[in-house]
Structures are given as C-alpha cells and as structure tokens.
Amino acid sequence: MESYIIRIYKRQKNNPEGLLGQVVDIQKDEKLVFSSVDDLMKILCPQERIPGNGEKEN
C-alpha cells in the first residue's frame, strides 16, 4: 500500500485548478511540489492514464 501526506498551502476560491502544495511519499521519504490538480494527479498516478486529460480510455 502506498502512503502519502498531501499538504495544500494555497487554494483559489474561484478556480479549483489553482492549488499549490506538497506531496510527501512516506516510503521513499520524498517531497514533491504541485501547482495544479493535474500536477497532483501526475504525482499520485505517474504511470496510469487519467481519462479526461486528452488520453483515450481502453
């Protein structure tokens, strides 16, 4: 099982994509920064294709 700590430092009220935060991967002791929901999803699911991002579903 993967374990993360997700910290959101800034969020824009009128723009759900407007995030700024940090993901801490507990197993790897690694800290990664994100600046949008898309960035966050790429960190959490780096090898999976996320429907709705211009990718075709199988």
Taking the mean position of all CA atoms in its chain, how far away is CA 52? 15
pLDDT tens, 38-50?
Answer: 999 999 998 765 5
pLDDT of residue 56: 47
Contacts of 55 (CB under 8 A, 6+ apart): 49
Answer whether 17's CB lies under 8 Å from 36's CB: yes
Between residues 57 and 40, the one the model is more confident about:
40
pLDDT of residue 1: 83
pLDDT tens, 13-40?
Answer: 888 788 999 999 999 999 999 999 999 9
Contacts of 19 (CB under 8 A, 6+ apart): 8, 10, 11, 12, 34, 35, 36, 37, 40
